[in-house]
Amino acid sequence: MEHPVELLVHSYLQDVRQGTSTMSEENIQGIVKHVEEAVRKQFKKREGDFRLRASNIGRVACQLWFQKNKPEAAIPPSSHFLLRMIIGDITEAVFKGILKESGAAFEEPEKIEVEIAGEKIQGEYDLVLDNKVDDIKSTSPWSYKNKWVDGYSIEKSDPFGYVGQLTVYAKGKKVEPGGWWVINHSSGEFKYVKYTSDPRKVEKKLEETVKAVADDKFIRCFTPTRETFYGKETGRYVLNTECKFCNFRHACWEDRLTEEMSKVSKAKNKPIVSYISMKKGDK
C-alpha cells in the first residue's frame, strides 16, 4: 500500500460488512450536500471564454491552442458524457465520506490561485491529507489496471494533465503534492497512487505552456508513431496515446487521419486504430 490511510479505509469497510460499524448522520449529510453541489455544477450553463486554469494547464500546448481559438472544432461529447461526470462526482463524494468515517483527518476543498509565467491560474483541490494535496479520480477498469499503475506511469503518459493539475494545487496551498485516490467505478476497488514527479521540473514545463498559449501560434506537439505488430513495423503510422485522447485530433490532422479497424489484428473484434497518412518531408 502507498498510503497508511488505505489500511484504515479497508478496515472500516470490513467492519461495515460485518455489522460492527456504520456511518454517522453527519457524514451522510455531508455526502448528500457534496452530490447536490456537484449536480448543480454539472447542469450549470458553461462559460464560453477560454482561460488557463489548474484543470487544463497540464495539457499540451497544441490542444490548448484549439480550445482557445477553435473550440467548435472539438469532437462533440457523447450524450452519456454528462452522466459519466456525475458518476465521478458521486464516487468522489461517497469516498470522501468513507475517508472521514474511517478516521482520516483531512482538509476540505479550497480555492487557490497561483501565478505562473505572469498568468494567474485558479483551481480548487479535493483535499489535503497529511499536509499534502490529494486528488480523487473515478476511473474505468482498463485505466485502473493499465494507466493508474504508479506516478512514473502517469507522468510518462498524461494526456489529461493530472500531474500539472496536482502540482498547481500544491503550489497554491503551499504544501507538497501527495497523490491520487483512484476508484474503479465498476468494481469499487481503490488505491492510492503517489505523486513521484519533480515539482520544479513540472512548474518549468507549465511556464513553457503558459508562454506558448500567450504566443498563440499553433505548433503540433507530437508526430505519428510507427505501427508495430508482434514487435515488427508494418510500414504504417498511427497516432500516439496523447493524440488519440485529444478531441481536436480530426481538426489537427484533417483528412490525413482515418479511424478504422486494425489492418493487422487477427482478433474477431478488431480494435479501432487511428491511422495517419504520411506526406513527403514528414519524419
DSSP string, 95-161: HHHHHHHTT--EEPP-EEEEEETTEEEEEE-SEEETTEEEEEEEE-HHHHHHTTT-HHHHHHS-TT-
| Cross-strand pairs, 228 | 233
Average pLDDT score over the chain: 94
Q: In what order do the strands lie in the sheet with 106-107?
A: 106-107, 127-129, 132-139, 176-184, 190-194
pLDDT score for 241: 85
Mean pLDDT of 232-254: 94
Please give the pLDDT value at position 234: 96
Q: Check residue 1 and give its pLDDT.
A: 77
**What pLDDT, in 10s, does the model give residues 137-188?**
999 999 999 999 999 999 999 999 999 999 999 999 999 999 999 999 999 9
Mean pLDDT of 38-46: 88
Look at residue 278 in the predicted model and tell me its pLDDT: 84
* Listed range (4-13, 19-28, 73-82, 179-188) with the worst mean pLDDT: 73-82
pLDDT at 210 over 80: yes
Give the C-alpha separation, 51 to 25, whole Å.
39
pLDDT tens digits along 85-112: 999 999 999 999 999 999 999 999 999 9
- Write the CA distances from 114 to 134, 162, 165, 206, 221, integer angstroms: 17, 17, 12, 12, 26
| Per-residue model confidence (pLDDT) at position 282 | 66
Residue 232 has pLDDT above 90, yes or no: yes
Residue 283 reports pLDDT greater than 70: no
The whole-number average pLDDT for the span 72-93 is: 93
**In the predicted structure, residue 71 carries a pLDDT above the cut 80:** yes
Work out whether strand 257-261 and strand 232-238 pair parallel, antiparallel, or are unpaired: unpaired
Confidence of residue 281 (pLDDT cuts 50, 70, 90): low
Helix (H, G, I), strand (E, B) or coil at 44: coil
Contact, 151 vs 197, CB < 8 A?
Answer: yes
Residues facing 276 on adjacent strands? 237, 257
- What residues form DSSP beta bridges with 132? 129, 176
Instruction: Identify the H or E element spanning 13.
Output: helix 4-18
Segments of the chain assigned E as strands: 106-107, 111-116, 119-124, 127-129, 132-139, 176-184, 190-194, 225-229, 232-238, 257-261, 272-276
In the chain, the percentage of residues whose pLDDT exceeds 70 is 98
pLDDT score at 148? 96
Q: Does pTM top 0.85 for this prediction?
A: yes
The x, y and z cell numbers of residue 143, run together, are 485505466
Determine if residue 252 is left, alpha or beta; phi over 0 gives left, psi from -120 to 50 gives alpha, anything else beta: alpha
Residue type, 221: C
Residue 49 has pLDDT above 90, yes or no: no
H or E stretch covering 250: helix 249-253
128 pLDDT band (50/70/90 cuts)?
very high
Say if residue 78's pLDDT is above 70. yes
**pLDDT value of position 280:** 65
| Residues 6 and 179 sit within 8 Å (Cβ to Cβ) | no
Please report, as a single letter, which amino acid is at residue 260. Answer: E
Q: 111: which residues sit within 8 A by CB, 6+ positions away?
A: 122, 123, 124
Q: Produce one character per residue of 88-120: b if its CB has 16 or more CB atoms within 10 Å, e if not.
A: bbbbbbbbbbbbbbbebeeeeeeebebebbebe
Query: Residue 38: which pLDDT band, with cuts at 50, 70 and 90?
Result: very high
